[in-house]
Amino acid sequence: MAATLFLPPASPALAQGDGTITADPPAQGGAAMDLGRQDSGLPIEITSEKLRLDREANTALFEVNVIARQGSMTLKADRLLVEYTTNEEGGYTEVRRLTADGNVVLIQAKPDQPGAKPDIAEGDHAVYELATETIVMTGNVLVAQNDTVVTGDRLTYRLDTGQGLMEGNVNTLLVPKQSQ
């Protein structure tokens, strides 16, 4: 039997940062990219085969066939740890962080572009900080956008701007459109 949980996002009042990410690669090497915007204020639906709640630690651990959806973004992983805050009465208030491990795949659909391929990022580990609207993916990172493929050690993706920055051992395969 699958476990399903609907989680409201962090309060917009807690958002931090100026919503920008530099287009200039860092000194150690990197590549900037546009991965499409995502509304981090939408609810998050998570399904899995197993769910372990720890009220003292304010965490929920989803395991086996984990799929988390928020708007047009889907995150798949072997494990997903959700950290949340509670009020004085011990009631759930908001999600702070999602940490995904094992076969992590992030799919950003393009609902405003019918027929367009989604952007896909893969890695070993990802952390989604809701307050800053940032996902950091590490470990054998691969990003596929249309026919372009970028690999590296670390991807930082800002949901509010749609901008991404790949760092460390960056390799890019660009495929030009063929003349017709």
Cα–Cα–Cα angle for 5, 8, 11, rounded to 5 degrees: 155
Query: β-strand 50-54 against 59-70: which pairing, if any?
Result: antiparallel
5 pLDDT more than 90? no
Average pLDDT, the chain: 79
**Residue 12 phi, psi dihedral angles, 5° rounding:** -60, -25
Go through the chain and tell me how many residues it has.
180
- Dump pLDDT digits (tens) for 113-168: 888 888 899 999 999 998 899 999 999 999 998 888 999 999 998 988 888 899 99
The pLDDT value recorded for residue 176 is 80
- Dump pLDDT digits (tens) for 82-113: 999 877 776 667 889 999 999 999 998 887 88
Token pair of 117, please? Answer: 């391929």
The pLDDT value recorded for residue 45 is 93
| pLDDT band at residue 16 using 50, 70 and 90 as cut-offs | very low
Q: Rounded CA gap, 155 and 111, in Å? A: 23
Closest alpha carbon to 81 in 58, 56, 103, 65: 58
CA of 180: how far to CAs of 92, 95, 145, 177, in Å? 57, 49, 22, 9
Q: Which of 20-34, 75-89, 165-179 has the lowest mean pLDDT?
A: 20-34
| pLDDT band at residue 22 using 50, 70 and 90 as cut-offs | very low
Q: Which residue has the higher pLDDT, 95 or 52?
A: 52
The pLDDT value recorded for residue 15 is 27
The pLDDT value recorded for residue 19 is 29
Q: Which of 1-5, 18-22, 106-110 has the lowest mean pLDDT?
A: 18-22
Q: By the 8 A CB rule, do 128 and 69 touch?
A: no
